[in-house]
Amino acid sequence: MDPLTNSTVLVLQFDSKKSTITLGQGILASISSLIPYKQWDVIVAIVSDTVYTLHKEAVDHSLALIDAIPINYNDTEQNKSYAHAEKYFNQLLEKHCTRNSLVMGIGGGVTTDFAGYIASAYMRGIDVVYVPTTLLAMVDASIGGKVAVNIKAGKNIVGYFHQPDYIIIDVNFLHTLPQSEWRCGMAEVVKHALVGDSSSLEILQHKEIQYGHIDNSLYNCINSSVRFKASIVEKDEYEKNIRAILNYGHTVGHAIESLFEYTMSHGEAVAAGMLVESYISMKQGMPKADFDTIRDILSTYNLLPKISFDPRLIINHMIYDKKNVKGKIRFVLLESIGKPRIGCEVNDLLLMEALNFYLAMVEK
């Protein structure tokens, strides 16, 4: 059977360009039918070393179909840096890339983010295609056009909005996904569910998803999560209003990542951030039953990292958060599950209480 027969296609229309998302199983083998590869003079694919090791045959076959040149990438947060990017700009020049060339990113969120940044900055911006290979990249990192690299002072400080022309989501990559990466992706699925993706919420509450099972429940959850994020970013490409709800869990999460110098995964940090921000939400009026539901979902999928930190240092790291306004730390909080509020201020005493609650809970 043609793998494209049962695939899902979403076409997003932004002010800057059109972006097409294709979701399916085994669809990478049909890449020459998914993108108009002949329109670009040179195609360079930045490929995660991890993915290439696990899926060499599939990657080589697909790149050969579109005459793409692979460039390997050691996909760590340390290598998603402003300093590291220059090496790749030089490689694009060596491959004779022009303003009519294409960069592809094949890998997890670090790889697609890095490839997107390279494409956004090279010759003031060239086209980019993503092939996300982790659950987190499929439902979150590859969608929406945010691209950035890290500097010593913080995560994702230098970047642009640069929409991908195409996103190819092949769930077959998930067969080799480690459990730690699975949890990272599930954290973003949970985030979408809590800020408005009711279909995913129902699947999560029924505990239908199991690690390593690439079945209809997982596919439907990915499909719903992708559609939810796509619908939000299409309405608000540059994060002027509603798109900010997708930062739920990220104010605390990014501070945790920064404090741990990016040795902790993004998904784990965001999961911790969601619980802390849910606690704050409860203290500001969210029903306790909703807080209990959130804690139950995060615990069911084993998403909460058992970490120790000084809450004062977490608060200090929030100073660099991009969502801050006039020096005030801003949060996304919940009135209830599915009803987020943006731009919320929280006093330091309540924030300390919430962080200490988290520490006490994971120590049990």
For the domain bounded by 238-363, which CATH number is listed?
1.20.1090.10
Q: Which of 55, 80, 266, 323 is catalytic?
A: 266
Q: Which of 162, 183, 250, 330 is catalytic?
A: 250
- Residues near 8 by beta carbon (within 8 Å), at least 6 away in sequence: 22, 23, 24, 223
What pTM, to 2 d.p., does this model score? 0.92
Q: Is 188 an active-site residue?
A: yes
pLDDT at 57: 97
Q: Is 266 an active-site residue?
A: yes
237-253 burial: b if 16+ Cβ within 10 Å, else e: bebeeebbbbbbbbbbb
Q: Which of 77, 188, 237, 268 is catalytic?
A: 188
Q: Which residue has the tokens 């990272």?
A: 184
Q: From 127, 272, 301, 302, select the one nearest 201 (Cα to Cα).
A: 301
Q: Is 229 an active-site residue?
A: yes
322-361 burial: b if 16+ Cβ within 10 Å, else e: bbeeeeebbbbbbeebeebbbebebeeeebeebbebbbee
Q: In the chain, where do the E strands start and end?
A: 8-13, 18-24, 43-48, 69-73, 102-107, 127-132, 146-151, 154-161, 166-170, 330-336, 339-345
Using alpha carbons, list the distances in angstroms from residue 283 to 36, 194, 346, 353. Answer: 52, 17, 11, 10
Structure tokens belonging to residue 74: 């050691």
Q: From 165, 147, 59, 58, select the one nearest 102 (Cα to Cα).
A: 165
Q: Which of 239, 257, 268, 277 is catalytic?
A: 239
What are the residue ranges spanned by the domains of the chain? Answer: 8-177, 238-363
Q: How far apart are CA 9 and CA 88, in angstroms?
A: 31
Q: Which of 229, 317, 323, 330 is catalytic?
A: 229
Q: Which of 146, 155, 192, 330 is catalytic?
A: 146
Q: Is 239 an active-site residue?
A: yes
From first to last of the 364 residues of the chain, give the pLDDT tens digit: 456 667 999 999 998 799 999 999 999 999 999 999 999 999 999 999 999 999 999 999 999 999 999 999 999 888 999 989 999 999 999 999 999 999 999 999 999 999 999 999 999 999 999 999 999 999 999 999 999 998 887 778 899 999 999 999 999 999 999 999 999 999 999 999 999 999 999 999 988 888 888 889 999 999 999 999 999 999 999 989 999 999 999 999 989 988 998 788 889 999 999 999 999 999 999 999 999 999 999 999 999 999 999 999 999 888 766 566 666 788 999 999 999 999 999 999 999 999 999 999 998 7
Q: Which residue type is seen at 211?
A: Y
Phi, psi of 146 (to 5 degrees): -75, 125
- CA 92 vs. chain centroid, Å, equals 25
pLDDT at 37: 97
Q: How many CA atoms lie within 13 A of 157 on its CB side?
A: 15
pLDDT at 264: 87
Q: Is 183 an active-site residue?
A: no
Instruction: Please check whether residue 117 is in contact with residue 147, taking contact to mean a CB–CB distance below 8 angstroms.
Output: yes
pLDDT at 212: 81
pLDDT at 320: 67
Check: CATH 3.40.50.1820 for 8-177?
no
Structure tokens belonging to residue 93: 């020049």
Q: How many CA atoms lie within 13 A of 55 on its CB side?
A: 26
Q: How far apart are CA 88 and CA 190, in angstroms?
A: 34
Q: Which of 57, 124, 240, 364 is catalytic?
A: 124
